[in-house]
Amino acid sequence: MTLLKRQLRDCILSWRWLVVLGITGVILYVQYATAFRPVWLLPPIKPTFLNYMLLFNTFGMGTSIFTMILPFLAAWIGSSVYATERHSGRLTFITARSNARAVARTSLLSGFISGGLAGITPLFASMIIGIIKKPHMELVDGTMPTDGRTTFYPIIEEKSAFYPLYQTHQVLLLLFIFAYIFVFAGLVAVLGVCVSFFTQYRYVEVIIPFLALTLWWVATDLLNAYGLSQVNFLYISRPTTIYNLLGFVLMPAVMGGVSAILYKVRVKNYVG
């Protein structure tokens, strides 16, 4: 069995997934309990399972929790690949069989895939529940009346950058959102793997990416740059601002760039 296959198997079969599934359950419970409260009645819309999905239904608090906890889910599953090899005592052996560069690259790829899967888990679970509850996908108009009065609420507002794609290809929009969340979460995990190259302590590779993205969210809000964090720009149904677009593009690029720098330092100055 190749190193990549073994690492992916270990990640997929890890007990850590119990934590991910538990958090997913809490997120979905909060989402549906707050989005469809018995104390109010949301205006009716055309039947669509998107109304039950995280990121699309913004009435529930589950979407907020998901955007905040996403970095942790990714790092929790994917960032400890390299650290696990070290703490298990296998790192010296597999490095002797291969080389430091190959082991590092394989660990990064394993972390990326595992972290991406963890990141999309709550979103995928909400889609399955939505399909079961409302197996339809009709288009809901996102045009808001100028007088502010409406008898419905949109899935995606007209001023969202995603609205044109939603109008024409809803399935393609879904695939794009899943792909973006997968890549974003995977890059968070990769950042954590790179951190683990430089520390012997357990779980530091999980804490640092989550803490860094949380501090980034707080800092951007304090600086009135609301939208540069995934906590903000992943609200795809709301009107898109320039900060949303910048955050959507720059955050993955910055995480990838920082990871690339750490990787180069690691393979240049390797200490087993």
Reported as a single tens digit per residue, the pLDDT across 2-54 is 889 999 999 999 999 999 999 999 999 999 998 877 655 566 677 889 999 99
- Give residue-wise pLDDT tens across range 121-179: 999 999 999 999 989 888 887 776 655 555 567 889 889 999 999 999 999 999 999 99
Other CB atoms within 10 A of residue 169 CB? 12
What whole-number percentage of the chain has pLDDT above 90? 67
User: Counting Cβ atoms within 10 Å, is residue 272 exposed (0-12), middle (13-18) or buried (19+)?
Assistant: exposed
Given a contact cutoff of 8 angstroms between Cβ atoms, the answer to whether 80 and 206 are in contact is yes
pTM, 2 dp: 0.93
Q: What is the rounded end-to-end Cα distance, in angstroms, of the chain?
A: 23
What lies within 8 Å, CB to CB, of 180 at 6+ separation is: 248
